[in-house]
Structure 1
Amino acid sequence: MIVIEQENTADAAAIESLLDIGFGAGRLSKTVYTLRQGPSVPSLSLVARTGFDAKVGASIRFWCCDVKNGDKILPALILGPLVVDPALQGKGLGRTLVARALEEADQEGWDLCLVVGEASYYSPYSFVLAEPYGFELPGPVDQPRFQVRAAPDLLQSLAEKPMLRKVLPWSGRASGVEGAWAASRAA
């Protein structure tokens, strides 16, 4: 039996343990962690519970970030980390969490999402390489793993106006998702 639900504070230790197993202790020094400031977005931070003991078998989290787009700041999400207990990998838990969380993000009005991960894993969710659209993280990243997912009209607009788009920690100044942001924080 598998149940997907929002993570709660009691899940923190189990998630951290899974992250240590999945990514190692050096994970906190990766570039994307500089963007993960403050709490994750509660409405999009999901866990997959397994068995009758409701053990956390997988987790996905999202953080808000800013994208400098000329003189405007676009609100965006950073997907990750996504982690699945090694004993449960290959059973579709990760894909289920990604699909459900992205569906929720779409419903909340998030038009822009970034991820650093395997292109073959994320392309079914409409992620494409970020570099051709000018996105730049605040540190080193393996460019073939840096991807973006955006509403079709936004992606077309970004393609039509080539420029450097720096990804920055969330400032709270971006406009466009105020209601979704407030609702997610109240959850």
Structure 2
Amino acid sequence: MIVIEKETAADAAAIESLLDIGFGPDRTGKTVYQLRVGQPLPELSLVARTGFDARVGASIRYWPIDVKDGRKTLPALVLGPLVVDPELQGKGLGRTLVARSLEEADQDGWNLCLVVGEPSYYEPYGFIPAEPYGFELPGPVEQRRFQVRGTPEILEALLATKRKRPVRPWSGKASGVENIGGTIHAA
């Protein structure tokens, strides 16, 4: 039996253990971790619980980030990390978490999401190479793995104006975002 639900504070240790197994203890030194400041967004961070003990078998998290676009700061998300217990891989847990969480992000009004991951894995969810849109991370990244997902309108607008778009940790100052009851929502 698999149950998908929101991550809780009680899940933190199990998630950290899975992340160490999946990505190694040096994972926090990767460029994308520079964007993961503070806590992940609780409304989009999900876990897959398995078995009768309801243990965490998989996890996905999102952080709000800033995209500098000239004088504007655009609100965006960074997807990840996504991790699945090695004993449970190949059963669709990761894909289920990605699909459900992106659906919730869309419903919450997030129209721009970035990820660093395997292109063939994320392409079915609408992710495309980020480089043509000018996105730049704050450190080294394998460009083919750096991807963006957005509404057609925002992607067309970004492509129409060629410029560098630095991606930075969330400042809380991006336009088009509301803070409702301590929870961040795109407006």
Per the normalisation by structure 1, the TM-score is: 0.96
How big is each residue's C-alpha offset from its partner over 1:36-79, in whole Å with a ceiling of 9 and x where there is no partner?
Answer: 00010000000000011101000000001000001100000000
How far residue 175 of structure 1 moved from its aligned partner, in angstroms, is: 1.4
**Alignment partners' CA distance in 2, 1:127 and 1:161:** 20
What SS does structure 1 have at the residue aligned with 2:28? helix
Matching of residue 172 in structure 1 with residue 172 in structure 2: yes
What SS does structure 1 have at the residue aligned with 2:65? strand
State, as a whole percentage, how many aligned pairs show the same letter. 71
What residue is the counterpart of 1:150 in the other structure? 150
What residue is the counterpart of 2:180 in the other structure? 182
| Structure 1 residues 166 and 20: CA distance shift in structure 2, 3 A | same
Q: What does 1:114-125 align with in structure 2 at a 5 Å threshold?
A: 114-125=114-125
CA RMSD of superposed structures (Å): 1.1
| Structure 1 residues 23 and 8: CA distance shift in structure 2, 3 A | same
Any runs of at least 4 consecutive aligned residues in structure 1 with deviations exceeding 3 A, and if so which? none
| Structure 1 residues 183 and 79: CA distance shift in structure 2, 3 A | farther
What residue is the counterpart of 2:162 in the other structure? 162
How far residue 26 of structure 1 moved from its aligned partner, in angstroms, is: 1.0
**Alignment partners' CA distance in 2, 1:121 and 1:5:** 22
What residue is the counterpart of 1:131 in the other structure? 131
What residue is the counterpart of 1:10 in the other structure? 10
What residue is the counterpart of 1:67 in the other structure? 67
Query: In proportion to residue count, which structure has more strand?
Result: 2
Per the normalisation by structure 2, the TM-score is: 0.96
- What runs of 5+ residues in structure 1 fail to find an aligned partner? none
What residue is the counterpart of 2:28 in the other structure? 28
Which amino acid is the alignment partner of residue 126 of structure 2?
S
- What runs of 5+ residues in structure 2 fail to find an aligned partner? none
